Structure 1
């Protein structure tokens, strides 16, 4: 039995550079405002700390976000943690087509993450980075794209299980 597993995280340096700069700017703004106006109202302090708290939550979210993909003899499973805590399972019997393709995250889906396209023919995407994904066309007409950084590995595993999704419909 051949099994594929991949875990992707938002580990692009530009993402964390942007978040770090945002954090520094917010902290600097809070400190400079604090020094200027000693007699700020309690509401001003609360608003500043709420902004800082939200920014810290966004940073934590980027640290824990991950896309996990498993492919085995039963089918394809994936989850986009923490938005999906359990795997979404797609049995081989529900797949009509399955292949690796290049895609444009911005023009096709509006970026990375869990995205649905405005174009009906594109479907839904679960991506973290890059522009290569596993395209699934389901027998019910839905399309799902799962981003990958291990396209050659996935190709080999998909080829192993090709007989499970290319058999004749009953």
Structure 2
């Protein structure tokens, strides 16, 4: 039988930082230019050009695969009765499940991603672990026996309310 769990809240996030996409696309553009100039047009790209085979491999990895990887990366947050699920694709094949009975308290916060956690993604900092993709708002979970966990959100108020509701409900089994 299919898993018919009650979904209280769901959010999907992607990298939206303009500066990140500028850097990625500029780097990819260099490899595109090199590939077109050297492999397709027969010139020599740079002072000490690499072979066409090596440049083609670099082009495939840095000019196509890296931007595609960042484009496809996404953070999915789901709140279900008694649990919170977080999945940062492609790093998690299955969601990380956080049983809400282990959460002592939680609060909606505004934070500094760089200073507090060292950036975006799956991050570890002095303040604990964070799952975030963009922005500077989220819900901070405090546990009974481990460091806090930040879940970055574009809708922190709704996530907070969903966690509050789900904490009081029994998980579906």
Instruction: State the TM bucket, normalised to the shorter chain.
Output: 0.7 to 0.9
Q: 1:130 is matched with which residue?
A: 135
2:161 to 132, 156, 161: 156
Q: 1:80 is matched with which residue?
A: 88
How many pairs were matched up? 158
- Residue 62 (str. 1) matches residue 67 (str. 2): no
Deviations 1:9-45 (A, max 9, x none): 124444333322222222213344454349xxxx611
Normalising by structure 2, what TM-score? 0.79
Where structure 2 has 5 or more consecutive residues not aligned to the other structure, the ranges are 1-5
Q: 2:52 is matched with which residue?
A: 45
Where structure 1 has 5 or more consecutive residues not aligned to the other structure, the ranges are 165-170
Question: For the Cα contact (< 8 Å) 1:2–1:160, is it kept in 2?
Answer: no
5 Å-filtered alignment, 1:13-28, equals 13-28=18-33
Match of 1:111, SS state, is coil
Q: 2:3 is matched with which residue?
A: none
Normalising by structure 1, what TM-score? 0.81
Deviation at 1:2, TM superposition (A): 7.1
Question: For the Cα contact (< 8 Å) 1:2–1:157, is it kept in 2?
Answer: no
